[in-house]
Amino acid sequence: MTRQLLVPMDDSDRARAALEHALAVHPDSEITVLHVVDPLGAAYGGDESPAVIDGEPDFFADVRDLAAEHDGAVETVVREGTAAETILEYVSEASVDAVVMGSEGRSGVSRVLLGSVAEAVTRQSSVPVTIVPGGDRTE
Protein backbone atom coordinates (compact mmCIF):
# COMPACT_ATOMS: atom_id res chain seq x y z
CA MET A 1 0.00 0.00 0.00
CA THR A 2 1.42 3.36 -1.03
CA ARG A 3 1.14 5.97 1.66
CA GLN A 4 0.99 9.71 1.17
CA LEU A 5 3.51 11.34 3.51
CA LEU A 6 3.89 15.05 4.13
CA VAL A 7 7.22 16.48 5.24
CA PRO A 8 6.99 20.18 6.16
CA MET A 9 10.32 21.75 5.23
CA ASP A 10 12.30 24.83 5.98
CA ASP A 11 16.01 25.29 5.39
CA SER A 12 17.12 23.64 8.66
CA ASP A 13 18.95 20.56 9.86
CA ARG A 14 15.86 19.37 11.74
CA ALA A 15 13.74 19.46 8.60
CA ARG A 16 16.41 17.60 6.62
CA ALA A 17 16.56 14.97 9.38
CA ALA A 18 12.79 14.50 9.04
CA LEU A 19 13.06 14.10 5.27
CA GLU A 20 15.92 11.61 5.60
CA HIS A 21 13.83 9.63 8.11
CA ALA A 22 10.81 9.60 5.79
CA LEU A 23 12.92 8.49 2.81
CA ALA A 24 14.68 5.74 4.80
CA VAL A 25 11.72 4.36 6.74
CA HIS A 26 9.04 4.76 4.06
CA PRO A 27 10.80 4.09 0.74
CA ASP A 28 7.59 3.07 -1.05
CA SER A 29 5.58 6.10 0.03
CA GLU A 30 4.74 9.14 -2.03
CA ILE A 31 6.42 12.03 -0.24
CA THR A 32 5.39 15.65 -0.56
CA VAL A 33 7.72 18.32 0.81
CA LEU A 34 5.77 21.42 1.85
CA HIS A 35 7.40 24.79 2.47
CA VAL A 36 5.20 27.42 4.10
CA VAL A 37 5.98 31.10 3.53
CA ASP A 38 4.52 33.40 6.18
CA PRO A 39 4.44 36.88 4.61
CA LEU A 40 3.47 38.53 7.91
CA GLY A 41 6.32 36.86 9.80
CA ALA A 42 8.93 38.33 7.46
CA ALA A 43 7.21 41.74 7.49
CA TYR A 44 7.32 41.90 11.30
CA GLY A 45 10.92 40.84 11.74
CA GLY A 46 10.41 37.07 11.77
CA ASP A 47 12.62 34.57 10.02
CA GLU A 48 13.61 35.66 6.55
CA SER A 49 12.37 33.45 3.74
CA PRO A 50 15.00 31.55 1.79
CA ALA A 51 16.04 32.78 -1.63
CA VAL A 52 13.44 31.93 -4.25
CA ILE A 53 14.33 30.57 -7.68
CA ASP A 54 11.55 30.17 -10.27
CA GLY A 55 8.86 30.33 -7.59
CA GLU A 56 10.40 27.89 -5.12
CA PRO A 57 12.98 28.09 -2.32
CA ASP A 58 16.54 27.47 -3.46
CA PHE A 59 16.95 24.64 -0.93
CA PHE A 60 14.45 22.51 -2.88
CA ALA A 61 17.39 21.54 -5.13
CA ASP A 62 19.06 20.02 -2.05
CA VAL A 63 15.77 18.29 -1.17
CA ARG A 64 15.63 16.62 -4.60
CA ASP A 65 19.30 15.61 -4.34
CA LEU A 66 18.68 14.05 -0.92
CA ALA A 67 15.72 12.10 -2.30
CA ALA A 68 17.84 10.86 -5.22
CA GLU A 69 20.52 9.65 -2.77
CA HIS A 70 17.81 7.42 -1.26
CA ASP A 71 16.65 6.28 -4.71
CA GLY A 72 13.45 8.21 -4.24
CA ALA A 73 11.65 11.26 -5.50
CA VAL A 74 9.59 13.94 -3.83
CA GLU A 75 6.92 16.35 -4.90
CA THR A 76 7.55 19.92 -3.74
CA VAL A 77 4.86 22.43 -2.83
CA VAL A 78 5.01 26.03 -1.60
CA ARG A 79 2.06 27.57 0.24
CA GLU A 80 1.57 30.94 1.87
CA GLY A 81 0.21 31.30 5.41
CA THR A 82 1.05 30.52 9.01
CA ALA A 83 3.04 27.32 9.37
CA ALA A 84 0.88 25.08 11.57
CA GLU A 85 -2.43 26.17 10.08
CA THR A 86 -1.18 25.76 6.50
CA ILE A 87 0.30 22.32 7.23
CA LEU A 88 -2.99 21.15 8.76
CA GLU A 89 -4.98 22.53 5.81
CA TYR A 90 -2.72 20.66 3.39
CA VAL A 91 -3.17 17.43 5.34
CA SER A 92 -6.94 17.70 4.83
CA GLU A 93 -6.83 18.84 1.20
CA ALA A 94 -4.30 16.31 -0.08
CA SER A 95 -5.52 13.19 1.72
CA VAL A 96 -2.22 12.80 3.54
CA ASP A 97 -1.82 9.57 5.54
CA ALA A 98 0.93 10.78 7.91
CA VAL A 99 3.20 13.72 8.64
CA VAL A 100 6.91 13.44 9.35
CA MET A 101 8.46 16.62 10.69
CA GLY A 102 11.44 17.92 12.56
CA SER A 103 11.35 19.64 15.92
CA GLU A 104 13.49 22.36 17.38
CA GLY A 105 13.67 20.53 20.67
CA ARG A 106 12.50 23.50 22.69
CA SER A 107 11.45 22.88 26.25
CA GLY A 108 10.32 24.69 29.33
CA VAL A 109 9.78 28.44 29.15
CA SER A 110 10.94 28.85 25.54
CA ARG A 111 8.34 26.31 24.37
CA VAL A 112 5.58 28.11 26.26
CA LEU A 113 6.62 31.60 25.14
CA LEU A 114 7.55 30.85 21.54
CA GLY A 115 5.23 27.96 20.78
CA SER A 116 6.09 25.11 18.49
CA VAL A 117 4.81 24.33 15.01
CA ALA A 118 5.51 20.65 15.59
CA GLU A 119 3.51 20.67 18.81
CA ALA A 120 0.55 22.47 17.23
CA VAL A 121 0.47 20.10 14.26
CA THR A 122 0.76 17.04 16.52
CA ARG A 123 -2.08 18.17 18.77
CA GLN A 124 -4.47 19.12 15.96
CA SER A 125 -3.65 16.69 13.15
CA SER A 126 -6.22 14.17 12.01
CA VAL A 127 -3.39 11.81 10.91
CA PRO A 128 -0.38 10.37 12.75
CA VAL A 129 2.59 12.72 13.16
CA THR A 130 6.17 11.49 13.60
CA ILE A 131 8.52 14.00 15.20
CA VAL A 132 12.18 13.61 14.28
CA PRO A 133 14.73 15.54 16.38
CA GLY A 134 17.08 17.66 14.30
CA GLY A 135 20.54 19.05 14.61
CA ASP A 136 20.04 22.74 15.29
CA ARG A 137 18.57 23.09 18.75
CA THR A 138 17.29 26.57 19.65
CA GLU A 139 16.41 27.75 23.12
Residue 133's pLDDT is what?
Answer: 82
Residue 114's pLDDT is what?
Answer: 40
Q: What are the pLDDT digits (tens) for 55-110?
A: 788 899 999 999 999 998 899 999 999 999 999 999 999 999 999 998 865 555 54
Residue 50's pLDDT is what?
Answer: 65
DSSP characters for 67-95? HHHTT--EEEEEEES-HHHHHHHHHHHTT
The answer to whether 77 touches 33, Cβ cutoff 8 Å, is: yes
> Rounded to the nearest 5 degrees, what angle is found at the Cα of 105, between the Cα atoms of 28 and 18?
15
Residue 8's pLDDT is what?
Answer: 96
Average pLDDT over every residue of 127-136? 82
Residue 68's pLDDT is what?
Answer: 94
The CA distance from 131 to 113, in Å, is: 20
The CA distance from 10 to 3, in Å, is: 22
Q: Which CATH superfamily is domain 4-133 in?
A: HUPs (3.40.50.620)
Residue 49's pLDDT is what?
Answer: 59
Q: What are the pLDDT digits (tens) for 10-52?
A: 988 999 999 999 999 999 999 999 999 987 765 555 555 566 6
